[in-house]
Structure 1
């Protein structure tokens, strides 16, 4: 009789720590596959549509799986940018003038340590705000072709080979975990005039296949071969097709030829520009489909409501396959996995980095050394240098860079700490010889 039987009900309660994607004995690939398989389409779209600045980030938490928000927007061009005090290193163009790969590696290592230290501090406080993440929007890989482009100082110059080699050492990381994720940008054939004759948001790079292959692709390929986990697609079109919806660029070349396994993030607002600036698509749903089908996996948008916020609608209209969306999610979560997000902190040596290393004496000394190596020496006509007493009776310092520290550091540089800065004008003014001269500064 049933009354004589002992009936036992076994209730198994699984916590987030029990999921296979938390199992550190499994491969990263197996763990990512398990994680992504547990996501629904709405959750995947949410992860893909929040990869940008300010209100467009961070990615939303997935509480049922214990997954926290993540900040994909961080600038690391010449130091840790926009997150408070940080050591400032020379702009990329100055580093290229050193022709010193080891120095570039040391500067990159110091920057990534400061990025990681700030991230450790921020996430411990539950802070996932802009510039606190580990996925850097740098280095800038573009070739400096047009002097009218406003960001030439961010590049390594005009040589595809030198740019590629410099980028390789920026990206390289040979440990189980990645300290910070380098993301090469802007892909591709970017760097035209800012607003002459058309906006940089809408210009079409009518590049020949020969020039494309020989000038504008090699340095990006070097990034991929070095192991970069992300690339940023650019505002412009290439041969009539917007870069972030260009399947020849993002699928045929990047994925099929180069076997790129990372993710592509759009430049800020580049996806909406596909429709509003290039007039390539007719509505946000088709724009989202065009971008993701071409190979863009993450949107750096201007606001909370982005182009990729229409991905679920595109999926429901059968404009995007489920496999395409899950592939993108896998690429995004693989990056977070190798950064150590889903492992116990004691397994990751980078989790021990703290903010005491920010602007440490070691990093300050490295910045000074790098600045010295970046100098380009000019011919000393008639031996006018060094300045000698009584050899001159007046001196004119020309140009706006002479006494403007912000201009000297350039765009996308860390917060300027004035107590560490001496401008050329100040240095000359305080020199013993210069104080005997009649000195004037013309800003031109």
Structure 2
């Protein structure tokens, strides 16, 4: 029965009962492995080389079975009434999706959970889907199950929610990013899921864009290094079965022309090659098993249909061997939205021939199978190209161990996920805090402060603190309570004995209470949202929040502003408080982390991974803005807080610096009275360049722990490719190369020149 046909209430009830029984059976068998057959087909032999197993299985498959492997369907199509109602798995629709048109993958999109959202129920559901697929496919091929675990296992109630990527970008710490991704992989794996659609390797250069907070920052090297660390952490997590990482959204997704998500980008080939693509390349070449394709269009061509991106760059230039997958319904969009295909078979042909291996066709398994079959019959797609795509999919499944170990022990899922790695999440959130103002040493909070007023609606709002992609797609759904620590709760727990912490209930109450306070902490921010719903044509602090902060400033008492948001917000009348702490979207341990910094338990080490505009209209903004001849206000790079900005509770100095053709050596010192962690960035610039070049370019960075009074000399090497630019005229038709001549390398206030010959 097709997934979209109505059913009687009685039939639905019977089917749900059958699925409950089947699910229970799957749980009982979850820890069992599929036995290897020493004398069976080669593909069933666990010890055989993967490439030989793939070839053996491929030659046994029919065309229809191969076509099914190239499809990924949303789990909602096999739940409840199979029309996005959720609930228990539906046997009839599982038959359609997993047997009649045997799809190769299932995805739980944002908010698509089992009927009861617990780790054990997730594992039970995934086991049941997997068991049905294996049992009811002729060759017993397992599915690969996907999820967007972008800041922890964020769809699962009870899982620890890490800071969103923009906050992790502020740590400038590949080790923290690696460990956070590994923790996410362990949680994902414990629920039976083996494909995670993270990390994001896009750049954040336009504050209006709704997915700004999903990136690691505006700089290609910073974003690429951290994305590569996330890939390595996810795919080599200790204590977990294998999980495939996904580099997304390849490529140039973050450049919508008007700042709105999925609006086409129009960029020069030089900017594409030199700036937008390197972060993906670094992440891909760290060993990622899959790449998700940009939903948008670049220079008039939808990325899903771009042979240049998916074959020439990704395969031929970068040597990627893994699986490419589209984003949500993007193959169909070639026909329905972009209108570059006359019908669905033609749209499928455009994507597959460009280099797409799997389509996230979340709605219609039958239409996908019939569409690709029609494309083959019309000779639009060759069976050789299908074999190539399916070989990559099967290889990933073999490498993930799905043929031998397709199930997990659902009974262990709750213990493995609930509250796991909260210490790491707290550390990551604390490292992500960026202290931007600290006039008069208002922070850390003085022990003599006996009355602290906490104001602002975001102070006690765990849901917006976690942000979008948390339990639901757009954030925590109404009626759901997210376990975690709000900033208000964190402050109350951290305040020393004898210090009164008062929560102001309204703006007027806050102003009244502040008059008798030693310190007011006002927490401001923006509502949780995702993708297009998170677009912000005017990325500024809301007027009522600006008014609140302005009134608190007028009280004459010290005010510290804490910003909980996925992007820098133009502060307007809220600018100029004695303290300013950018907290990003710090997750379920964010309240503890913010308090750790406010009260001095943690010395802030976060640095801005993006630039903070002074005024609305300065978007897009990034430190690599090219020079021009306009001398008007803010026509050049003139941020409120620059890329790399951030304060500490100690002081640092950069001393002797030397440079050669491979890197720099610099001595750094902690000249203050507290231990701390110092971000050491190295920038390159050119006095003269054949093409326009930014004033400086990040080519290396590290993070160094320095005890109070300690001096240390560090060596930072860089790849010469980090200096490459695309030569030539406006057409940018050349191959990126390193120009000869003088380069100036800078770290802190020290610099040295090197001549590259």
User: TM-score normalised by the shorter chain: which range applies?
Assistant: 0.7 to 0.9
Deviation track 1:212-238 (CA, whole Å, cap 9, x = no partner) reads 011111111112211111111122111
Instruction: Write the mapping of 1:409-420 to structure 2, written as runs, cut at 5 A.
Output: 409-413=466-470, 420=483
Q: Unaligned regions of 5+ residues in structure 2, if any?
A: 1-34, 79-96, 105-132, 512-521, 525-543, 546-757
Residue by residue over 1:179-237, the C-alpha shift from the partner in whole angstroms, topping out at 9 and shown as x without a partner, is 211001111111245xx859644x32111111101111111111221111111112211
* Contact residue 74 and residue 81 of structure 1 kept, 8 A: no
Structure 1 residue 96: Cα displacement: 1.2
**Alignment of 1:384 onto 2:404:** no
Contact 1:314/1:320, CA 8 A, preserved across alignment = yes
Q: Is 1:319 equivalent to 2:377 in the alignment? A: no
Does the 8 A contact of 2:197 with 2:246 survive in 1? yes
RMSD: 3.3
- Match in the other structure for 2:69: 47
Q: 1:358 aligns with which of 417, 441, 446?
A: 417
Rate the CA distance shift 1:84–1:264 in 2: closer, same or farther, 3 A: same
| Whole-angstrom distance in 2 between the partners of 1:428 and 1:113 | 30
Q: How big is each residue's C-alpha offset from its partner over 1:117-163, in whole Å with a ceiling of 9 and x where there is no partner?
A: 111xxxxxxxxxxxxx2111111111001111111111101011011
- The aligned residue for residue 510 of structure 2 is 439
Distance 1:28 1:217 in 2: 31
Contact 1:403 1:423 in 2 (8 A): yes
Residue 279 (structure 1) aligned with residue 353 (structure 2):
no
- Structure 1: runs of 5 or more not aligned: 1-14, 120-132
> How far did residue 32 of structure 1 move?
1.1
Match of 1:94 in 2: 167
Q: CA deviation at 1:174?
A: 5.6
Contact 1:74–1:136 (CA<8 Å) still a contact in 2? Answer: yes
Q: 1:423 aligns with which of 483, 486, 490?
A: 486
Residues 105, 387 of structure 1: alpha-carbon distance in 2 compared, 3 angstrom cutoff: closer
1:103-142 equivalences under 5 Å are: 103-119=176-192, 133-142=193-202
Match of 1:68 among 142, 157, 170: 142
- What is the match of residue 158 of structure 1? 218
Q: Could you tell which deviates more after superposition, 159-168 or 78-87?
A: 78-87
How far the C-alpha of 1:393 sits from its partner, in A, is: 8.4
Separation (CA, whole Å) in 1 of partners of 2:443 and 2:352: 58
Q: Name the counterpart of 2:313.
A: 253
Check if 1:401 corresponds to 2:458: yes
Cα distance change, pair 19–352 in 1 and its aligned pair in 2 (3 A): farther
- Give how far 1:16 is off: 8.7
> Displacement, 1:420?
4.5
Q: 1:116 Cα deviation (Å)?
A: 0.9
1:369 equivalent among 417, 427, 432: 427
Helix, strand or coil at the partner of 1:205:
coil
Distance 2:490 2:45 in 1: 57
Q: Deviations over 1:233-262 (max 9, x none)?
A: 122111111100100000010011111111
Counterpart pick for 2:297 among 237, 252, 259: 237
8 Å Cα contact 1:388-1:433 kept in structure 2: no
240-249 or 58-67, which deviates more: 58-67
Find the residue that maps to 1:50 and give its secondary structure. strand
Tell me what 2:397 maps to: 336
Give the structure 2 partner of residue 266 of structure 1.
326
**Structure 2 SS opposite 1:318:** coil
Check conservation: 1:93, 1:154, Cα contact below 8 A. Answer: yes
Match in the other structure for 1:187 = 250
TM-score for the superposition, normalised by structure 2: 0.50
Is 1:221–1:258's contact at 8 Å kept on the other side of the alignment? yes
Which protein has the bigger strand share? 2
Query: How has the CA–CA distance of structure 1 residues 411 and 242 changed in structure 2, closer, same or farther, with 3 Å as cutoff?
Result: same
In structure 1, what is the Cα distance between the partners aligned to 2:366 and 2:314? 25
**Aligned mates of 2:440, 2:455 — CA distance in 1:** 19
Q: Is the 8 A contact 1:16 1:65 kept in 2?
A: no
DSSP 3-state at the match of 2:443? coil
Query: What's 1:11 paired with?
Result: none
Cα distance change, pair 97–306 in 1 and its aligned pair in 2 (3 A) = farther
The total of aligned residue pairs comes to 409
Larger Rg: 2
Residue deviations 1:365-418, cap 9 Å, x none? Answer: 1111111111112231123334558979895734x5333222111112358795
Native 8 Å contact 1:116 1:179 kept in 2: yes
Q: Distance in 2 between matches of 1:364 and 1:385?
A: 25
Change (3 A) 1:256 1:388: closer
| Mapped partners of 1:166, 1:350: distance in 2 | 32
SS at match of 1:379: strand
Deviations 1:404-441 (A, max 9, x none): 22211111235879574232244457753433986367
Q: Which of the two has greater helix per residue? A: 1
From 130, 146, 149, give the equivalent of 2:209: 149
Deviation at 1:338, TM superposition (A): 0.8
Cα distance in 2 between the residues matched to 1:167 and 1:198: 23
**What is the DSSP-based 3-state SS (H/G/I as helix, E as strand, rest coil) of the residue aligned with 2:464?**
helix
TM-score, structure 1 normalization:
0.83
Q: 1:197 to 1:108 in 2, by over 3 A?
A: closer
Match in the other structure for 1:78? 151
Distance between the aligned counterparts of 1:192 and 1:40, measured in 2? 41
Q: Distance in 1 between matches of 2:503 and 2:302?
A: 59
Q: Which moved more, 1:387-396 or 1:213-222?
A: 387-396
